[in-house]
Amino acid sequence: MIQKLKLSSLALGSMVKKELIIMTRYPVNFLVSFVTSFIMVSMYIFVTLMFAPQRSEGSLAGVGGVGMFGFFLSTFFSSTLWEMASGIRWEQYQGTLECLYLTPASKFSSLVSKVIPNFIWTGFNSLAMLLFAQALFGRLPFHNLGVAAYIFTMTIAGIFGFGFAFAAFTLLVKESAILTANFLQFSLYILCAMFFPFSALPTFLLRISRLIPLSYCIDAFRSTLMGYPPGFPELLPIEQELIIITAFGTVMPLLGYLLYKAAERKVRIEGSLGEF
Amino acid sequence: MRGTLTQFGWKTSLQVILSVILARLRLRSRYKGWLLLGLIIPIVMSAIIIFLGRALGGPRAAENFFLNTGTSNYVAYIILGSNVFMIVSRALWDFGFWLRREQETGTLESLYLAPTSMMLILTGVAIYNALHSIVNFFITFALGCFLFRVNPLQGNIPIALLFLSLGLVPLYGVSLLYGAMVFKLKEAHALIRMAQWVASFLMGICYPISVFPPFLRAVALLFPPTWMSNGVRASLLGVGFFFGTWYRDLAVLSAFCVIMPLVGYSVFLATERRIKRNEGVGMF
> CA–CA separation, A269 vs A272, rounded Å?
8
The enclosing H or E element of B4 equals none
The nearest CA of chain B is from the CA of A42 a distance in Å of 8
The Cα A208–Cα B121 span in angstroms is 47
Cα A58 from chain centroid (whole Å):
29
Candidates A40, A51, A68: best to mutate against B (most CBs of B within 10 A) is A51
Candidate from A33, A46, A48 with C-beta closest to B56: A48
Candidates A46, A50, A185, A203, partner chain B, best to mutate (most B CBs within 10 A)? A50
Question: Higher pLDDT residue, B284 or A26?
Answer: A26
Which residue of B40, B189, B197 is in closest CB contact with A39?
B197
Tell me if B231 sits within 8 A of B249, measured CB to CB: yes
Helix-, strand-, coil-residue percentages of chain A, each rounded to 5: 80, 0, 20
Tell me which chain A residues have a C-beta less than 8 angstroms from the C-beta of B205.
43
Binding-face residues of A in 130-159 toward B, CB within 8 A? none
List CB contacts (< 8 A) between A191 and chain B. none
From the list A266, A49, A175, A36, the residue with the least C-alpha distance to B201 is: A36
* Residue A24: Cβ within 10 Å count: 11
The answer to whether the CB atoms of B51 and A200 lie below 8 A apart is yes
Q: Measured between CB atoms, which of A48, A183, A190 is closest to B48? A: A190
A35, A50, A195: residue with CB nearest B65: A50
Which residue, among A87, A72, A1, A81, has the nearest Cα to A40 in the 3D structure? A72
Please give, rounded to a whole number of angstroms, the shortest distance from the CA of A25 to a CA of chain B: 10
- Alpha-carbon distances of A42 from A189, B17, B77, rounded to whole Å: 19, 41, 19
Residue A231 Cα to chain centre, angstroms:
26
Query: Which pTM does this prediction carry?
Result: 0.83
- Most confident range (mean pLDDT) of A21-25, A253-257, B88-92, B119-123 is A253-257
Of B44, B47, B211, the CB nearest to A49: B211
Give the residue among A248, A67, A70, A110 at the shortest CA–CA distance from B55.
A67
User: Are A201 and B51 within 8 A, CB to CB?
Assistant: yes
The radius of gyration of chain A from alpha carbons, rounded to an integer in Å, stands at 20
Instruction: Say if the ipTM goes beyond 0.85.
Output: no
How many of the other CB atoms lie within 10 Å of CB of A17? 12
How many whole angstroms separate alpha carbon A31 and alpha carbon A12? 26
Q: How far apart are CA B100 and CA B119, in angstroms?
A: 17
Q: Tell me the nearest-neighbour CA distance from B217 into chain A, angstroms.
A: 14
Instruction: Give the tens place of pLDDT for each residue, B124-183.
Output: 999 999 999 999 999 999 999 999 888 888 889 999 999 999 999 999 999 888 888 888
**Chain B CB contacts of A199 below 8 Å:** 55
Mean pLDDT across chain B: 87
pLDDT of residue A90: 78
Contact A206/B at CB under 8 A: no
CB contact, 8 Å: A93 with chain B?
Answer: no
- Return d(Cα B161, Cα B166) in angstroms, integer: 8
Q: Do B194 and A199 touch (CB under 8 A)?
A: no
Q: Return the number of CB contacts < 8 Å for A and B.
A: 107
Q: What pLDDT is stored for residue A57 in this prediction?
A: 47
| Cα diameter, chain B | 69
Distance CA A31, CA A118 (A): 13
The string over B209-241, giving b where at least 16 C-beta atoms fall within 10 Å of a residue's C-beta and e elsewhere, is beebeeeeeeebbebbbbbbbbbbbbbbbebbb
The residue ranges of every structural domain in chain A are: 2-270
Torsion of the alpha carbons at B97, B99, B102 and B104, rounded to the nearest 10: -70
Question: What is the crossing angle of helices B188-203 and A27-51, to 10°?
Answer: 20
Looking at residue B51, its amino acid is F
Query: Which residues touch A186 (CB under 8 Å, ≥6 apart)?
Result: B40, B41, B44
Three-state DSSP at A114 gives: helix
Reading chain A (276 residues) residue by residue, the pLDDT tens digits are: 788 788 888 888 888 888 888 878 877 777 887 888 888 888 888 888 888 765 544 455 566 778 888 888 988 888 888 877 777 877 877 778 888 888 887 777 888 887 888 888 888 888 888 888 888 777 788 899 999 999 999 999 999 999 899 889 988 887 778 788 888 888 899 999 998 899 889 999 999 999 999 999 999 999 999 999 988 899 999 999 999 999 999 999 999 999 999 998 998 888 887 776
CA distance B198 to chain A (A): 7
The nearest CA of chain B is from the CA of A39 a distance in Å of 7
Q: How many helices (H) and strands (E) does chain A have?
A: 10, 0
The DSSP string of B124-150 is HHHHHHHHHHHHHHHHHHHHHHHHTT-
Q: What is the pLDDT of residues B4-39, one digit of tens each?
A: 555 668 888 899 999 999 998 998 888 777 788 888
Contact check, Cβ <8 Å, A39/B52: no
Torsional class of A59: left (φ above 0), alpha (ψ -120 to 50), beta (otherwise):
alpha
